[in-house]
Amino acid sequence: MEAIAQSSAITHPSTLTHPSAFPHQDDLRLTFAPLSVAEAYALADCPQNGAVVLMSGTVRSQTDGRAVNHLEYQAYEPMAQKVFEQIASEIRQRWPAVNTVIIHHRVGRLTIGEISVIVAIGCPHRAEAFEACRYGIDTLKHQAPIWKKEHWQDGSSSWVSIGACEQLEPVSCPVQISLTTQSTV
């Protein structure tokens, strides 16, 4: 967490110039600030798009039947930015028609209902937009150096390995690796 607090770049978007003739930019950011679905949608949208697909991940009140109090996200920001850039590059290689890639991820303390991650894809066709968006969120969860700590209502907490799944298949991964600690407060 210390590396994040010292980085001034974390609260500012990192943009990549779109390689096509369109004047659009990708927006890739890791931030302490709340995320906005409306802002991400607006950044992904352009007149050349026939589709904008947006995935928003939120903090839920229960995980595996346990009541969640809040989540804490930590990240190694310089490497996370590189991973976000690599994901955008891979999306462009796999789906060349994609106009815009938006990846926003929160760090810090998040409460129930807050948005933790947004991936949005602007593309001429919906099929490619859906596929690219799914690829973006799945790849982010497996490769980005972002760690999640679940704080439970009973006072305990667990670090969750978000990269526990090795496959990017449309099947949910049953593996969850966590370290549990009991609060003494």
| DSSP letter, residue 9 | G
pLDDT digits (tens, 9 = 90+) for 41-73: 999 999 999 999 999 999 999 999 999 999 999
pLDDT digits (tens, 9 = 90+) for 13-36: 433 333 444 446 899 999 999 999
pLDDT at 171: 39
CATH (one of 3.90.1170.40, 3.40.50.10420, 1.10.8.10, 3.30.565.10) for 2-182: 3.90.1170.40
Q: Is the dihedral of CA 167, 171, 174, 180 positive or negative?
A: positive
Maximal CA-CA distance, the chain: 58
* Least-confidence region, from 36-50, 87-101, 135-149, 168-182: 168-182
- Can you tell me the distance from the alpha carbon of 144 to that of 149, in angstroms, rounded to the nearest whole number? 15
Which is nearest to 160 in space by CA: 77, 73, 94? 73
pLDDT digits (tens, 9 = 90+) for 73-89: 999 999 999 999 999 99
With 70 as the cut, is the pLDDT of residue 167 above it? no
